[in-house]
């Protein structure tokens, strides 16, 4: 099993692309798993006739979970999400094929949550960016380190 | 990347009743459902996340030290059931936002940015409380969408000890299309 450490990462590194079809079934499964019962994410008649959209679309948590899966695929199981900041430009509709690209913008050895990386993630459909996500993601310092043990002064604290 | 909002702000021209909402916890909800494998695995199936820690509590304990949940599952642990016995009219998600939109008199709004910050990991079995806090309300601005204001509402998730486990922070722009 792959276990990325911060030593394996450099600023400017591109993460492998993920292509994923957001089928209606996956989209509804994600909405229900996140306990989001808004009709926008499961009721096509409502979405088309009332909301004026072309189809049901992904809820925010589905997109967050897909980005987290992308980061988990890259790092292996020890990676730990610290923060995600989204700008959602266009909805991700049922049957869209999304491509996710990531770039390491910075490697932070110290400071809250460190070592961690800042990663910019772009989700595109037909080459057009639909969502960007700036993620802060903690990685092991070495093979013996566990980011999930970090807390207190070794982790981000609420204001 | 900015941390979660740290200061409360408000425009100078706001009604005092609206100003009083800033920084005050609202819609303080009782503990939600326990964080559980069923919802975690349903989401992991939906997005095909094969991380073994999310498919077995035992594997998570071996790998991570505790049976933790994926961070992005956080909102699932604070949402109400679709219906419960004795429930009246259901509240909308982030009701504090809809209240503010009505008080400010804007017929439309959009989410400009959404930031979620994870301060403590959530374990299987944890039950979280939620509360909503209006953080800031800006001056009147004109954009291509219309004339309105930007405001920020946080959804906080707290554990049994009262510690903030995570925060979803929504930046909205509320506006009147007719005033563009």
Domain spans in chain A, listed from the N-terminal domain onward:
6-154
Round to whole Å and give the CA distance between A150 and B123.
Answer: 15
Q: Domain-by-domain residue ranges, chain B?
A: 9-35+92-179
Residues 6+ apart with CB under 8 A from A49: none
Contacts of B34 in chain A (CB under 8 A): none
Contacts of B5 in chain A (CB under 8 A): 159
B4 touches chain A (CB under 8 A): yes
Residues 49-88 of B with CB under 8 A from A: 49-53, 63-66, 68, 70-73, 75-76, 79, 81-82
Alpha carbon separation from A75 to A1, A64, B25 (Å, rounded): 10, 16, 37
Residues 6+ apart with CB under 8 A from A71: A79, A81, A102, A119, A121, A135, A137
Residue A159 Cα, gap to closest chain B Cα (Å): 5
> Pick from A37, A67, A73: which is nearest to B82 by CB?
A37
The domain defined by A6-154 carries CATH number 3.10.129.10? yes
**B9-35+92-179 in CATH: which number?**
3.10.129
Inspect the interface and report whether the beta carbons of A69 and B48 lie closer than 8 Å. Answer: yes
- Please give the structure tokens belonging to residue B9: 């702000």
Per-residue pLDDT for B5 more than 50?
A: no
Inspect the interface and report whether the beta carbons of B114 and A60 lie closer than 8 Å. Answer: yes
Residues 123-162 of B with CB under 8 A from A: none
> What pLDDT, in 10s, does the model give residues A2-50?
899 999 999 999 999 999 999 999 999 999 999 999 999 999 999 999 9
Per-residue pLDDT for B180 more than 80?
A: no
Inspect the interface and report whether the beta carbons of A134 and B73 lie closer than 8 Å. Answer: no
> What pLDDT, in 10s, does the model give residues B21-53?
999 999 999 888 999 999 999 999 999 999 999
A115 preceded by cis ω (within 30°)? Answer: yes
> What pLDDT, in 10s, does the model give residues B79-133?
988 888 887 776 677 899 999 999 999 999 888 899 999 999 999 999 999 999 9
pLDDT category at B8 given cuts 50, 70, 90 is low
> Pick from B49, B113, B120: which is nearest to A87 by CB?
B113
């Amino acid at each position: 099993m792959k276990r990325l450490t911060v030593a394996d990462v450099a600023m400017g590194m591109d993460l492998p692309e993920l292509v994923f079809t957001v089928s209606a079934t996956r989209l509804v499964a994600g909405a229900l798993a996140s306990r989001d019962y808004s009709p926008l994410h499961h009721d096509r008649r409502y979405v088309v006739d009332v909301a004026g959209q072309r189809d049901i679309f992904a809820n925010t948590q589905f997109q967050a979970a897909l980005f987290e899966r992308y980061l988990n695929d890259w790092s292996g199981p020890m990676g730990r999400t610290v923060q995600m900041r989204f700008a959602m430009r266009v909805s991700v509709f049922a049957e869209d094929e999304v491509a996710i690209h990531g770039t390491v913008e910075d490697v932070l050895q110290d400071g809250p949550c460190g070592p961690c990386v800042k990663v910019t993630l772009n989700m595109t459909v037909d080459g057009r960016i639909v969502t960007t996500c700036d993620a802060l993601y903690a990685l092991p310092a070495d093979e013996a380190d566990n980011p999930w043990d970090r807390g207190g002064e070794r982790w981000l604290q609420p204001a | 990347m900015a941390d979660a909002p740290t200061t409360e702000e408000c425009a100078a021209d706001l009604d005092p009743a609206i100003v009083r909402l800033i920084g005050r916890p609202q819609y303080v909800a009782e503990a939600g459902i326990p964080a559980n494998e069923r919802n975690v695995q349903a989401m992991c199936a939906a997005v095909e996340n094969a991380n073994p820690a999310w498919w077995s509590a035992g594997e998570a304990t071996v790998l991570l030290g505790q049976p933790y949940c994926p961070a992005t599952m956080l909102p699932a642990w604070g949402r109400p059931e679709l219906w419960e016995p004795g429930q009246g009219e259901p509240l909308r998600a982030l009701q504090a936002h809809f209240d503010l939109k009505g008080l400010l008199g804007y017929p439309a709004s959009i989410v400009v940015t959404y930031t979620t910050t994870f301060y403590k990991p959530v374990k299987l079995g944890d039950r979280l409380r939620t509360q909503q806090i209006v953080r800031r309300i800006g001056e009147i601005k004109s954009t291509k969408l219309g004339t309105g204001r930007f405001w920020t509402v946080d959804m906080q998730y707290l554990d049994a000890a009262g510690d903030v486990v995570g925060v979803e922070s929504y930046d909205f722009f509320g506006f009147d299309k007719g005033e563009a």
